[in-house]
Amino acid sequence: MTAPLDHAAVAAGATEALRVRVRRGDGVQDYAVPRRANQTVLDVVTEIQREQDPTLAYRFACRVGMCGSCGMTVNGRPRWTCRTRVAAVAPEGELLLEPLRNLPVVKDLAVDMEPFFEKWRRAHGFFDPGETPPDDFAAVPPDSPERQEVDAGIECINCGVCYAACDLVAWNPDYLGPAALNRAWTLVNDVRDRGQAARLAAVAGDAGCHSCHSHMSCTEHCPKALQPTFAIAGLKRETGKAALRRLWRRE
Ligand code: SF4
Ligand code: SF4
Ligand code: FES
């Protein structure tokens, strides 16, 4: 069913209509939305929900590319929608919007992020201060090699776009995935952290960094231009070194 076009909005400045199809469970629903200058995909979804169909479920918070909550599949590709302009992804005026892949759907375009963050926990993706953390703040020189190594990776906004883009997650739902492994790599390079042995063991298992096929889909799709593939390569190196150290200690 196609919802009626808002003719008042068209008269107010929008000259064309976008055809928007939204996956809702097993079906796809059609909407027509006025096309506007500089319109984002999130603007379109919000307009449908506010003006045509209040039952449509989706998620967003900041609208400025900071919170990571607005991920959707747009014409077959995972994207952050608040910073994706319609003109760039739908030159023909047609949008197919679906929930992010590899995550359970709560309703319509809203997915359950719990499995994504559970993998952060499994990858030891949290700061470990050790038993006796110093009282004072530790100084981390901004130009030290470790801090430089993760200068980009710490900007991750947890949007799940890379996770949805990863075929390995689709094939093996147990695989930790690019975001959790990227997070682990930022902590492996944190000179204040005292949980390195446990973290390297956590990411070295069957569903960890060594499963990654290095096919770069996560890196190609990350809206923040981060490079999880290279973070995972770093983890492969460090887990390999840790295994050799264990071997030498036994000899
Ligand atoms: S490089 Fe690794 S983590 Fe990234 S998409 Fe490919 S298999 Fe997944
Ligand atoms: S690595 Fe990029 S795509 Fe993946 S969760 Fe972080 S910001 Fe999103
Ligand atoms: S709404 Fe926050 S990143 Fe898109």
SS3 state of residue 22? strand
Which protein residue's CA is at the shortest distance from atom 1 of ligand 3? 63
Residue 69's CATH number: 3.10.20.30
Name the domain count of the chain: 2
Do 118 and 162 reside in the same domain of the chain?
Answer: yes
Do 82 and 140 reside in the same domain of the chain?
Answer: no
Do 103 and 119 reside in the same domain of the chain?
Answer: no
What is the reported pLDDT for 118? 98
Is 133 part of any domain?
Answer: yes
As a whole number, the mean pLDDT across the chain is 93
Is 123 part of any domain?
Answer: yes
Pocket of ligand 1 (CB under 6 A): 165-166, 168, 178, 212-218, 228-229, 232
Q: What is the pLDDT of residues 24-40, one digit of tens each?
A: 999 999 999 999 999 99
150 Cβ contact partners less than 8 Å away, ≥ 6 residues apart: 185, 186, 189, 190, 231
Do 132 and 174 reside in the same domain of the chain?
Answer: yes
For residue 139, pLDDT beyond 50:
yes
Ligand nearest to the CA of 61: 3
**Among 40, 46, 60, 109, residue to substitute to test ligand 3 (most atoms within 8 Å of Cβ):** 60
Q: Which atom of ligand 2 is nearest to the CA of 165?
A: 3
Of 66, 85, 111, the residue that ends a domain is 111
Do 85 and 124 reside in the same domain of the chain?
Answer: no
Ligand nearest to the CA of 216: 1
Q: What is the pLDDT of residues 103-120, one digit of tens each?
A: 999 999 999 999 999 999
Number of H helices, E strands in the chain: 11, 7
Q: Which residues form the domain of 166?
A: 114-250
**Among 43, 49, 59, 80, residue to substitute to test ligand 3 (most atoms within 8 Å of Cβ):** 80
Provide, rounded to the nearest whole percent, the portion of the chain with pLDDT above 90: 86
How far is the centre of ligand 1, averaged over its atoms, from the C-alpha of 117 (Å)? 17
Which protein residue's CA is at the shortest distance from atom 3 of ligand 3? 65
CA distance linking residue 193 with residue 139, whole number of Å = 13
Give the model's confidence band at 246: pLDDT under 50 very low, under 70 low, under 90 confident, else very high.
confident
Is 1 part of any domain?
Answer: no
Do 20 and 75 reside in the same domain of the chain?
Answer: yes
